[in-house]
Structure 1
Amino acid sequence: MKNQSFGNWQTVVAGIVAAILVIFSFNSFIIINPGQAGVLSILGKATDGALIEGIHVIPPFISRVDVYDLTVQKFEVPGESSTKDLQTLSARFAINFRINPIQVVDIRRTQGTLENIVNKIIAPQTQESFKIAAAKRTVEEAITKRNELKEDFDAALGQRLDKYGIIVLDTSVVDLTFSPEFAKAVEEKQIAEQRAQRAVYIAREAEQEAQAEINRAKGKAEAQRLLAETLKAQGGQLVLQKEAIESWKSGGAQMPKVLVMSGDTKNSVPFLFNFANLQD
């Protein structure tokens, strides 16, 4: 009976020891997956050197491992600033970034969780970077030269976040808005520009028409000059008389039976025609 009780106690103790060993074994190892890095803290103090992917032995019960995702993260961050011409410009940025694995221990010591990184570092630095980029140009330039605004923003944000161990991979402007007052001013400017373009078109049209009139007048004057030279030449009066007859025939009026034209011999050649012979 006594030996049986002793044996039962041995079994219980062995079970307790085995359970303790199992618990120790589960708390003595940690697996870091690809795309992750761990920071080991012993008694609340972060140790140097990040834990990379694989299995790691850690002190049980007195240690803790904070795991950070090193893959690309994306967050949308709002921003608002005043432009060079003191207009309010609002934007929303989509920021793709990842944590620098070399600095993950410093990030754990200074910033803590990824949520803290976004709220305490990325969001305010995005706002400051947007202010820097927007202050260099007017609101109209910010809209019409959006790529240049983004380039200045990217440069400022990348430089500011790099010292915190945050690598900016890409940014995009999700939304860019301006004040209602500026929107109204833009609309009025467009209307004014359309009116100015219409006025320029009308002026050019009038100018072209005036030039056409000048060209027609020059052509008419040249024709008259050539006609005058023809009439002055020998036989010119005959040309004039022929033109008069042709005009009379085509004009539809009743032609006279006899037409007599005379004048001095210097300026005209008298002639006598019987127009009855010219009619059908």
Structure 2
Amino acid sequence: MRNITPGTVDWKRLAVPVVLAAAVLCALGSYFTVSAGNVAVKLRFGKIVGAYGEGLHFKLPLVDTIEKFSVRIKKDSFTTEAFSKDLQTVGLTLAINHRILPDTIEAIYRNLGPEYTTTILKPMVEEWTKAVIAKYSADSLISNRVEVARELDKILKDKMAEKQVIVSDIAITNFEFSPQFLKAVEEKQIAEQEAKRATNLVEKVKKEAEQKILQAEAEAKSLRLQREVVSDNLIKLRQVEAQLKAIEKWDGRLPTYMAGGQMPFVMVK
């Protein structure tokens, strides 16, 4: 039996559990898993030594490090400000769906880094949003919302494709304008409504006047036609008709009269 001097450490006894713990740590640190929808980059002393898809993979404990990326479609929301064509401040909120492809993971990590959404995508969105918004006046942005989003979508798809990031689609979820501009828009709408109401009233009066003119012209034409019909021949025809009616009513007696106390008469056979 070994004698251990009080106050001394039995290193041999301690070495066994230390070695076992180290072995367990090495065993646990000698593999890594990549879940579905993700990819991983293995780094050895900071150098990329491989890219891995989903499943179980091995690595050197305490030497290799693993960086994982999602290859699923990711949605990010960005808020930015821009100036319109008429120099109005416009606040925008954009929703962007994007993803990376598994076979580009090494290039993405090397060129863009794991935080590419913050370092590349966000500045790109801000830059091109300002460029597109500057083409439109503030009051036309709302009515052209789909067109603005479509133009931004095309630009960002092309620009991010150069960085090997796939942009699926872009939507403008909100426009914000200054209170002064909103008040001016409201006043303009009220003025346009009043002008439209006045225009409608003028058109109504105009149509009523046109109807009266047409009615007067029709009446004048009718009177003119009546005057043309009452000709000399018509007058003679009416006289003949009157005479015929008088003959129809005659009872065959001749008129008689008294002159000098005598009654002349005419014999008619």
Structure 2 length as normaliser, TM-score? Answer: 0.74
Q: Distance in 2 between matches of 1:12 and 1:96?
A: 56
Post-superposition CA distance 1:196-255 (Å, at most 9, x none): 3223222222222222222221222233234434554327989xxxxxxxxxxxxxxxxx
Q: Secondary structure at the residue paired with 1:41?
A: strand
Q: 1:256 matched to which residue of 2?
A: none
Q: Distance in 1 between matches of 2:70 and 2:227?
A: 100
Q: 1:100 matched to which residue of 2?
A: 101
Q: Distance in 2 between matches of 1:163 and 1:216?
A: 74
Q: 2:245 matched to which residue of 1?
A: none
The residue correspondences of 1:1-280 to structure 2 (distance < 5 A) are 1=1, 17-43=19-45, 45-113=46-114, 116-229=115-228, 231-232=230-231, 233-234=234-235
Deviation for aligned residue 1:12: 7.4
When residues 226 and 111 of structure 1 are mapped into structure 2, their CA distance, relative to the original with a 3 A threshold, is closer
Q: Secondary structure at the residue paired with 1:172?
A: strand
Q: Distance in 2 between matches of 1:165 and 1:112?
A: 12
Contact 1:27 1:59 (C-alpha < 8 Å) held by counterparts: yes
Contact 1:39 1:46 (C-alpha < 8 Å) held by counterparts: no
Q: Distance in 1 between matches of 2:32 and 2:188?
A: 65
Instruction: Tell which deviates more after alignment, 88-97 or 48-57.
Output: 48-57
Q: Distance in 2 between matches of 1:237 and 1:209?
A: 42
Q: Distance in 1 between matches of 2:14 and 2:87?
A: 80
Q: Secondary structure at the residue paired with 2:50?
A: coil
Q: Distance in 1 between matches of 2:106 and 2:83?
A: 37
What is the aligned length?
Answer: 230
Q: Distance in 1 between matches of 2:97 and 2:237?
A: 93
Contact 2:43 2:50 (C-alpha < 8 Å) held by counterparts: no
Q: Distance in 2 between matches of 1:80 and 1:13?
A: 64
Q: Secondary structure at the residue paired with 2:52?
A: coil
% identical aligned pairs:
31
When residues 25 and 222 of structure 1 are mapped into structure 2, their CA distance, relative to the original with a 3 A threshold, is same
List alignment gaps of at least 5 residues for structure 2.
3-10, 240-269
Q: CA RMSD in A?
A: 2.7
Q: Distance in 1 between matches of 2:237 and 2:193?
A: 58
List alignment gaps of at least 5 residues for structure 1.
3-8, 239-280
Give 1 or 2 for the bigger CA radius of gyration: 2
Post-superposition CA distance 1:172-203 (Å, at most 9, x none): 11111223333233223222322232232222
Q: Distance in 1 between matches of 2:227 and 2:78?
A: 86
Q: Distance in 2 between matches of 1:175 and 1:236?
A: 88
When residues 235 and 208 of structure 1 are mapped into structure 2, their CA distance, relative to the original with a 3 A threshold, is farther
Instruction: Tell which deviates more after alignment, 15-24 or 68-77.
Output: 15-24
